[in-house]
């Protein structure tokens, strides 16, 4: 058996000669065979072996999903994972004939279910971008099998080649849905073109790239999503850089990884509050970025990125990995052996900062194990809609002290069912961060004479809250307004002061604090809210949420009564569709009535 170190070094030389690995370099440099990070390789190998065992036991489910629902992603990923352990000399499955049956079954099913245009459905109909996800995996699998060159996999290689060749025209002519899909399709096409050139492929790649990479000044992409940055855009841009000779794309990935340093929590969660995608109310994790940090650390000699990669390795299997289990990563390292080189010398990670990303209207503060997020960048004030692809999460403040986590702080006034406060901006004001919004609702006057109709049939129009056959645009209006200003200040003792000023109209309101489950809530002024599980009203004094020795003390309470009920109204946009905005966790409501000036402390 070839030693792992020898196998990887040999592969690295072949990669440098073939497709130009990280850093490029001369033939002499390639022959030096840089030292490999054997501990990293061993970790991925062990994880891949365990993952392969699970795939062998469960790949029938992948086949059922593919055949019954047209969903190819799980089958393609399983094929990639099994390929990685089959070709890797360090794996206990190396050239194990027991894998040939599952590998062949997956490949044949993928070929059988592929439409004549080379696409699969994956929940859509003949979907180019959804097909591209699977083609990315199959490109890697074919490259590994081809490099390995075992006679026993000749039929398998031919089947995967047939799938890839058939998919090319569909990807080169089909459309996409979202911003990140463009780069995903380009990534898939770039590798197909490198292996089986077709002039239509680079033309389509260049057409998409000519639109410009959708990166905001702060380093996030337009979707502002850690999920799609880590799982789609960054890997796609790195692949295009390698296979389409667009080395300028490394800068975009570098900027995104730099931005991600400041939205990462000490335990490895990545802030997604500002996302425009479905992860804006979900937990996402740093290991999704692992190989990207590793690649740019090695390519650039970046010690900070190396520190991220080293930290993730140190945490090992004890951390949460998110969408991609570590065993699925071995294929990528075998495909790009330069990723297994030793990391450059690490530099300390930023652990004490105040970082303002104005392009997302997000402030991140970290003081060791204490962090906070201040957010004023939802799309609702500009777009006036709740929809997929928009930032709509009304949480404007989060904080954590070790294991004690305040996942959400929201303000919900009961004003014409317009829903919670969503700031119209975030800016520095003295020693504070200012959030602010003014919302209005109209009462409509009679139509001017020139717009009246004898038949009484007027256009169905939008009032901003609801629709009615009232020809709203032509009616004079009188408005009611609600103005809100919140000043968020960090205190010298590591806590926070939040000053609220709500004015212009008299309405009940509720501040909603939602704490991560797993701790204990205490305080004499707490009263359970009837009909709402794990929900309390802080009527007076302070309360404390504690997880072990870590605690967040907050308050004061602000009374109770019929004019300030413990109610959080999500807004008519949600209630009309029987939707909900209630976050999961232990909730505490502090109620009041505007006009209101109130100061909350959290420490």
**pLDDT single digits (tens) 369-414:** 999 999 999 999 999 999 999 999 999 999 999 999 999 999 999 9
- Write out pLDDT tens, residues 264-302: 999 999 999 999 999 999 999 999 999 999 999 999 999
Q: Confidence class of residue 32 from pLDDT cuts 50, 70 and 90?
A: low
Cβ atoms 415, 441 nearer than 8 A: yes
Q: Is the dihedral of CA 566, 375, 585, 496 positive or negative?
A: negative
**Residue 2 clears pLDDT 50, i.e. is over it:** no
pLDDT of residue 31: 52
SS3 374: strand
**Residue 74 clears pLDDT 60, i.e. is over it:** yes
d(CA 200, CA 208): 13
Say which residue, 56 or 13, is predicted with more confidence.
56
**Residue 30 clears pLDDT 60, i.e. is over it:** no
Q: Which of 338, 343, 330, 262 is nearest to 297 (CA)?
A: 343
pLDDT of residue 21: 32
Cβ atoms 243, 191 nearer than 8 A: yes
Contacts of 551 (CB under 8 A, 6+ apart): 401, 404, 544, 545
d(CA 421, CA 596): 14
Cβ atoms 281, 264 nearer than 8 A: no
pLDDT of residue 576: 87
Cβ atoms 487, 432 nearer than 8 A: yes
Q: Edge to edge, what strands does the sheet with 362-367 contain?
A: 352-357, 362-367, 370-375, 397-401, 404-413, 508-515, 586-593, 535-538, 526-528
- Write out pLDDT tens, residues 350-360: 999 999 999 99
DSSP state, 85?
H
> Tokens in use for 429?
């004001």
Q: What are phi and psi of 443, to 5 degrees?
A: -105, 135
Q: Confidence class of residue 12 from pLDDT cuts 50, 70 and 90?
A: very low
- Write out pLDDT tens, residues 157-195: 999 999 999 999 999 999 999 999 999 999 999 999 999
Partner residues linked to 547 by β-bridges? 550
Q: What are phi and psi of 150, to 5 degrees?
A: -70, 135
Burial of 486 (0-12, 13-18, 19+ CB in 10 A): buried
Q: Confidence class of residue 131 from pLDDT cuts 50, 70 and 90?
A: very high
What is the radius of gyration, based on Cα positions, of the chain? 28
Contacts of 140 (CB under 8 A, 6+ apart): 80, 83, 331, 332, 335
pLDDT of residue 34: 84
Cβ atoms 152, 100 nearer than 8 A: yes
> Tokens in use for 413?
């006034």
HEC assignment per residue over 10-55: HHHHHHHHHCCCCCCCCHHHHHCCCCECHHHHHHHHHHHHHHHHHH
- Write out pLDDT tens, residues 216-271: 999 999 999 999 999 999 999 999 999 999 999 999 999 999 999 999 999 999 99
pLDDT of residue 55: 98
d(CA 10, CA 21): 13
Q: Confidence class of residue 9 from pLDDT cuts 50, 70 and 90?
A: very low
d(CA 128, CA 208): 14
* pTM for this prediction: 0.93
H helix and E strand count, the chain: 17, 21
Query: How high is the mean pLDDT of the chain?
Result: 94
Q: What are phi and psi of 296, to 5 degrees?
A: -75, -30
Beta strands 535-538 and 586-593 are parallel
d(CA 134, CA 138): 6
Q: What is the DSSP string of 214-262?
A: -B-TTS-BTT--HHHIIIIIHHHHHHHHHHS--GGGHHHHHHHHHHHHT
- Write out pLDDT tens, residues 510-537: 999 999 999 999 999 999 999 999 999 9
Cβ atoms 260, 364 nearer than 8 A: no
d(CA 275, CA 280): 5
**Residue 150 clears pLDDT 90, i.e. is over it:** yes
Q: Confidence class of residue 99 from pLDDT cuts 50, 70 and 90?
A: very high
SS3 98: helix
Q: What are phi and psi of 299, to 5 degrees?
A: -65, -45
Q: What is the DSSP string of 166-184?
A: HHHHHHHH---SSHHHHHH
In the chain, what percentage of residues exceed pLDDT 70? 95
Q: Which of 558, 409, 433, 421 is nearest to 484 (CA)?
A: 421
The region of weakest confidence among 427-431, 462-466, 542-546, 583-587 is 462-466
Q: Confidence class of residue 464 from pLDDT cuts 50, 70 and 90?
A: confident
Q: Confidence class of residue 124 from pLDDT cuts 50, 70 and 90?
A: confident
């Amino acid at each position: 058996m070839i030693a792992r170190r020898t196998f990887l070094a040999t592969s690295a030389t072949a990669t440098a000669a073939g497709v130009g690995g990280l850093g490029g370099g001369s033939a002499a440099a390639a022959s030096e065979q840089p030292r490999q990070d054997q501990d990293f390789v061993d970790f991925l190998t062990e994880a891949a072996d365990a993952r392969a065992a699970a795939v062998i036991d469960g790949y029938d489910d992948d086949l059922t999903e593919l055949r019954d629902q047209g969903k190819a992603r799980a089958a393609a990923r399983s094929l990639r994972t099994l390929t990685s352990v089959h070709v890797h000399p360090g794996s206990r499955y190396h050239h194990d004939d027991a894998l040939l049956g599952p590998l062949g079954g997956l490949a044949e099913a993928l070929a059988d279910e592929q439409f004549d245009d080379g696409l699969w459905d994956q929940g859509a109909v003949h979907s180019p971008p959804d097909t591209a996800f699977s083609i990315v995996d199959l490109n890697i699998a074919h490259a590994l099998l081809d490099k390995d060159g075992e006679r026993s996999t000749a039929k398998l290689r031919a089947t995967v080649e047939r799938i890839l060749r058939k998919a090319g025209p569909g990807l080169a002519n089909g459309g996409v849905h979202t911003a990140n899909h463009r780069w995903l399709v380009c990534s898939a096409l770039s590798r197909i073109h490198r292996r089986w050139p077709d002039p239509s492929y680079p033309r389509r790649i260049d057409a998409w790239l000519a639109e410009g990479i959708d990166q905001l000044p702060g380093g996030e992409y337009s979707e502002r999503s850690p999920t799609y940055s880590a799982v789609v855009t960054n890997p796609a841009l790195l692949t295009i850089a390698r296979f389409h000779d667009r080395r300028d794309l490394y800068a975009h990935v570098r900027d995104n990884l730099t931005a991600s340093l400041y939205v990462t929590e000490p335990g490895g969660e990545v802030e997604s509050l500002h996302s425009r995608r479905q992860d804006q109310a979900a937990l996402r994790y740093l290991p999704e970025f692992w190989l990207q940090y590793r690649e740019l650390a090695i390519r650039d000699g970046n010690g900070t990125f190396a520190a991220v990669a080293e930290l993730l390795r140190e945490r090992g299997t004890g951390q949460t990995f998110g969408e991609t289990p570590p065993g699925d990563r071995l294929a990528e390292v075998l495909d790009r052996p330069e990723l297994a080189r030793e990391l450059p010398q690490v530099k300390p990670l930023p652990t004490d900062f105040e970082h303002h990303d104005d392009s997302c209207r997000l402030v991140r503060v970290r003081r060791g194990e204490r962090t906070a997020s201040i957010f004023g960048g939802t799309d609702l004030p500009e777009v006036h809609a709740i929809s997929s692809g928009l930032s709509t999460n009304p949480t404007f403040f989060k904080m954590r002290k070790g294991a004690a986590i305040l996942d959400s702080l929201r303000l919900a006034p009961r004003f014409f069912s317009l829903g919670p406060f969503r700031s119209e901006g975030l800016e520095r004001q003295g020693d504070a961060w200012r959030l602010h919004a003014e919302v209005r609702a109209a009462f409509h006057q009679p139509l001017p004479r020139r717009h009246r109709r004898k038949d009484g049939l007027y256009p169905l129009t939008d009032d901003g809250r609801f629709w009615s056959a009232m020809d709203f645009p032509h009616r004079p209006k009188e408005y009611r307004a609600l103005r809100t200003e919140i000043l968020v200040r960090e205190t010298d003792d590591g806590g926070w002061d939040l000053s609220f000023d709500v004015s212009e109209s008299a309405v009940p309101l509720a501040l909603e604090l939602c704490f991560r489950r797993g701790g204990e809530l205490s305080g004499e002024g707490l009263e359970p809210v009837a009909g709402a599980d794990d929900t309390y009203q802080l009527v007076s004094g302070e309360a404390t949420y504690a997880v072990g020795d870590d605690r967040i003390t907050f308050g004061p309470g602000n009374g109770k009564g019929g004019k300030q009920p413990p109610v959080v109204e999500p807004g008519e946009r949600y209630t009309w569709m029987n939707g909900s905005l209630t976050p999961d966790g232990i909730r505490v409501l502090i109620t009041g009535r505007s006009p209101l000036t109130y100061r909350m402390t959290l420490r």
